[in-house]
Structure 1
Amino acid sequence: MRSLILLILLAVPLHSASAESTGPWEHGALREAHQHTPLCGTLEHLRLRLEASASGKVTQAGQTVLFQRPNRDFTRLSDAGHFLVHYNRDGFHAVDPTDSDGNGHPDYVDEVAHAFDRAWAFQIDGLGYREPPPDNDGLFDVYVRDLAQTTQYGVTYPERITTTSPSYIEIENNFTDPVYLTNGLDALRFTAAHEFFHAVQFAYYLSLDAAWWYELTATWIQDEVFTDVNDHYTLVNAYLELPEAAIYEPPPISLRPYGAMLLAVHLASVHGTDVIRSTFEDLASRRPNPYTISDTEPGLPGGFAGVLPRYWIWNYLTGSRALSAGYYPEASAY
């Protein structure tokens, strides 16, 4: 009976689809999301690093030059002492110089530091995830730059291509450009939570093969840390529009892992938030490489077969079909 329900739900679009659709990326909201949505740049950078390393055409010294950290003129240590924020006061990557509290640092830089401290408190202190592997000084570095031209909210850069790796983050310098679906401090906050979780993920297992799970869970946790910021709604709606398509194709091939953050919401709601962390603990302990999607399964209660039937029922009960209790808290918005 469970299998029959799952097959029925897989066959029925959860949202109305365009009659002119001819494929996954010709599909209404999916097409719009793919063409116009700014994204996290972490996986694209990781792909470039892996290709450069595998090609043999770029030496290790050359990679160091290509992927070196940026230089900034000023720094601010976060109040909790975990992050060092690097920024400029003038030039292309400059932040707004307004310093309302007179602490010697622009207000925007203060907000960057506060957002990352909150992400650390929630993810490390609250949920018990591993700390990102430290670099030389033990502080996690965040660089503020103009990313609007790249249509990226932020990027997490692993320092090396190994099983685990230290990392650093670049984040947009103002989030005022109309390219962003969410602007201002709201965009800064969810981006900090999202990108920092990539740094946490790199403490467990660093591989492009698991990219779909990286983005799915990072999008989930940004909503957990800053629950009032709902930048993910567009991609959730696009995901629900085409339920029969795979969720494990990574960006930029597919944007579905972002919208499929619903799977993590479902797992955390039904089984508790520890179940998400357990999947990363399993990834950290598994050998040998390479990863396959089945490697995510041991951390799921009952595996995919035990999780997916109820998950698809929850997905069906969204939008106009949303119920008031017992399912996604924000189901009516999807």
Structure 2
Amino acid sequence: YVNRTGEYLDSAWSYEVGTIGLQPPPTDEWYPTGGDSRYDVYLVASLGNAFGLTQPDSFQAGNPQSYTSWIELRTEYIGFGYPDQYDPLKVTVAHEFFHTIHLGYDAYEPFLPDMSDYNVWWLEATAVWMEDVVFDEVDDYINYLPYFFRYPWLSLTAHDPTWQDWVRVYHMYASCVWPIYLSERFGTGGVNTAIIKEIWEGCAEVMYDNIIPATHEVLGEYYSDLNSSFGEFSIWNYFSGSLNESGYYSEGSYFPDLNDTMMVYDSYPVSVTSPSQPPEYLGANYVKFVPFDSTGGLRANFGGAYIPWKVNMIGYAVEGQGGNHRVREMNLDAFWEGTQTFNNWTKYREIIMIPAVVDTTFHSGTYNYSFAAAFDTSLTGADPIQIVRSRTLSDGNVNEAYLDTLIAVDGLLPHTWTIETGSLPSGLDLSSSSGIIQGIPTDSGHYSIRVEVTDNSTPAYTDTATFRIFISQLPTQDWVGQSFPNPFVIGGTSENTCFPFDLTDDGSVLIRIHTVAGEFIREIFVEGLPAESYRSRNRLVQIGACWDGTNDRGEPVASGVYLYYIKAAGVTKLKKLALIR
């Protein structure tokens, strides 16, 4: 148990510091009782109901907001309802270790400048997010999510400093869905851990609570902002549970759905002046309008109150429409009032209105609004043009042909595409008539573009959306690296260790695994690989350059140290890895 705890801690350090690039927790070796430079972790017999604790210790000279700390873990995790006590140990290690990093960035982040209140929601939300990043096979975070999806009107920042209101307490942990959204929405080729790192670095720039301004500023670098992103976040949350589909949460099918929280209407007209549970700041309501079988459409009106709002609407397509849903933002005037229509409503199973309170400044309390909806027989024409947002653009490589297509639905043809902000990688062009992006990129990096499409109506309808492209730099020399994670811990069928390498020309990779005594265990051979840098876990899993801890007969091998021989093009290495069961 002690050895496994150490191995899990090493894995957490390796991923959070080594892979993501977060700063390591401050060392305590500089003061008399601090010991050496290694981080201090204690196994204690009783922590009450807590799985683990991270305790702040002393601030660093010259940086009063950066604190040293220590971690306390339980001596066992038996009796908590888990079939394997090492699952809660894993996620607790990843969670608490991220707290040590939090305290190094800004131990005062939860506090108001006058210390009159504190709110640890961002610390807990990102720590739970980190559990799933480091130990994805456990999925313990899903147990918290009902406290978010059953209470969507609660503020994203909801908390209870007295720790008595357990809905608000657990809501802090369930708010991990926000960093999950950020990392998946603003990533390319998988989860983008960089955006959470960038937000924490922004938090550290200002002592005390700075999470909202830091998030807003970082999102600006991705051609978005806090208000727009929270509005889109509320849309993603609708596509959860049985409604989950490609383009939204990667594990969203395991999430709760919002059905029990919705206000539902199936007869018209509808007029509501005081919803029973209006949202708090960075909270949302969900209103469902159910169409009946008659030609026409829905006209919806909204009126807000004294605070910025984002109101999005979703037309969820009936079966047979190919998931061709319509997602539209209602245009609100200076008084936060607006109207949205859906033509030919029988093509929708339901139409959802999502009013959300947004702003870059915190507001307390709940905020009332009014809404109305009516069936309109005149709404039978073509719908306004809309960009399909649920898809992402493919990644590419420098000096290799690239081709992908932006898609818009509805509106009158022809459609015209333009880039509103941002730029494509050098060598790529957007066709204004077809939405095709093609060419041969000459520069690597992450690129964001905000595109606008215009139809041929009079007056013309337009729509805008942001897309991201990642272009990899082809390696200049063949290379093989150390397998990761190392050590790797077997506790579920999805766990494996991956073997990174680079190919400068098309080729193959050969991996042969042996015991230290020379006994053959397993061979992995992948051929037909294009020249590329194969370093990300997602890519290595995709091509099959990972090992799941079994021999060539599919039998699990014992814990221990193993040797592996890896040959990628002209580079051959003999390396070690450790496996723990």
Could you state the TM-score of these two structures normalised by the residue count of structure 2? 0.37
Aligned partner of 2:251 in structure 1 is 330
The 1:291/1:270 distance shift into structure 2, 3 A limit, reads closer
Instruction: Please report how far the alpha carbon of residue 284 of structure 1 lies from its aligned counterpart in structure 2 after TM superposition.
Output: 1.1
The 1:183/1:250 distance shift into structure 2, 3 A limit, reads farther
Percent same amino acid at aligned positions?
27
Correspondence for 1:298 among 217, 232, 238:
217
Tell me if 1:275 matches 2:275: no
Aligned partner of 1:177 in structure 2 is 79
CA displacement, residues 9-45 of structure 1 (integer Å, 9 cap, x when unaligned): xxxxxxxxxxxxxxxxxxxxxxxxxxxxxxxxxxxxx
Superposed, which structure 2 residues align to 1:93-132 within 5 Å?
108-132=1-25
**RMSD, aligned CA:** 1.9
Correspondence for 1:135 among 28, 39, 44:
28
Letter in 1 for 2:132: D
Letter in 2 for 1:141: D
Correspondence for 2:174 among 259, 264, 280:
259
Correspondence for 2:68 among 166, 177, 188:
166
Aligned mates of 2:82, 2:147 — CA distance in 1: 15
Instruction: Please report how far the alpha carbon of residue 297 of structure 1 lies from its aligned counterpart in structure 2 after TM superposition.
Output: 2.6
CA displacement, residues 253-298 of structure 1 (integer Å, 9 cap, x when unaligned): 52212111111111111212211111111111125x4547444432
CA displacement, residues 59-98 of structure 1 (integer Å, 9 cap, x when unaligned): xxxxxxxxxxxxxxxxxxxxxxxxxxxxxxxxxxxxxxxx
Query: Is the CA contact (8 Å cut-off) linking 1:147 and 1:153 kept in structure 2?
Result: no
Aligned partner of 1:205 in structure 2 is 106
The 1:192/1:290 distance shift into structure 2, 3 A limit, reads closer
The 1:183/1:146 distance shift into structure 2, 3 A limit, reads farther
Tell me if 1:156 matches 2:54: yes
Tell me if 1:226 matches 2:135: yes
Query: Comparing 200-209 with 116-125, which one deviates more in the overlay?
Result: 200-209
Instruction: Please report how far the alpha carbon of residue 183 of structure 1 lies from its aligned counterpart in structure 2 after TM superposition.
Output: 4.9
The 1:314/1:181 distance shift into structure 2, 3 A limit, reads farther
Query: Is the CA contact (8 Å cut-off) linking 1:133 and 1:166 kept in structure 2?
Result: yes
Correspondence for 2:237 among 315, 320, 331:
315
Could you state the TM-score of these two structures normalised by the residue count of structure 1? 0.63
Aligned partner of 2:159 in structure 1 is 250
Query: Is the CA contact (8 Å cut-off) linking 1:194 and 1:219 kept in structure 2?
Result: yes
Query: Comparing 111-120 with 266-275, which one deviates more in the overlay?
Result: 266-275
The 1:181/1:248 distance shift into structure 2, 3 A limit, reads farther
Correspondence for 2:204 among 281, 284, 290:
284
Aligned partner of 1:16 in structure 2 is none
Query: Comparing 267-276 with 207-216, which one deviates more in the overlay?
Result: 207-216
Instruction: Please report how far the alpha carbon of residue 237 of structure 1 lies from its aligned counterpart in structure 2 after TM superposition.
Output: 2.0
The 1:290/1:265 distance shift into structure 2, 3 A limit, reads closer
**How many residues get paired?**
223
CA displacement, residues 166-224 of structure 1 (integer Å, 9 cap, x when unaligned): 1100001110023x567500110010000000001111111233511100100001111
Query: Is the CA contact (8 Å cut-off) linking 2:65 and 2:106 kept in structure 1?
Result: yes
Query: Is the CA contact (8 Å cut-off) linking 2:17 and 2:23 kept in structure 1?
Result: yes
Query: Is the CA contact (8 Å cut-off) linking 2:121 and 2:175 kept in structure 1?
Result: no
The 1:163/1:243 distance shift into structure 2, 3 A limit, reads same
The 1:290/1:279 distance shift into structure 2, 3 A limit, reads closer
SS in 1 for 2:148: helix
SS in 2 for 1:164: strand
> Which structure carries more relative contact order (alpha carbon 8 Å, separation 6+)?
1
Query: Is the CA contact (8 Å cut-off) linking 1:119 and 1:225 kept in structure 2?
Result: yes
Query: Is the CA contact (8 Å cut-off) linking 1:144 and 1:173 kept in structure 2?
Result: yes
Aligned mates of 1:111, 1:309 — CA distance in 2: 42
The 1:118/1:147 distance shift into structure 2, 3 A limit, reads same
More helix by share: 1
Aligned mates of 1:292, 1:265 — CA distance in 2: 16
More strand by share: 2
SS in 1 for 2:6: helix
Aligned mates of 2:182, 2:107 — CA distance in 1: 23
Greater radius of gyration (CA): 2
SS in 2 for 1:313: helix
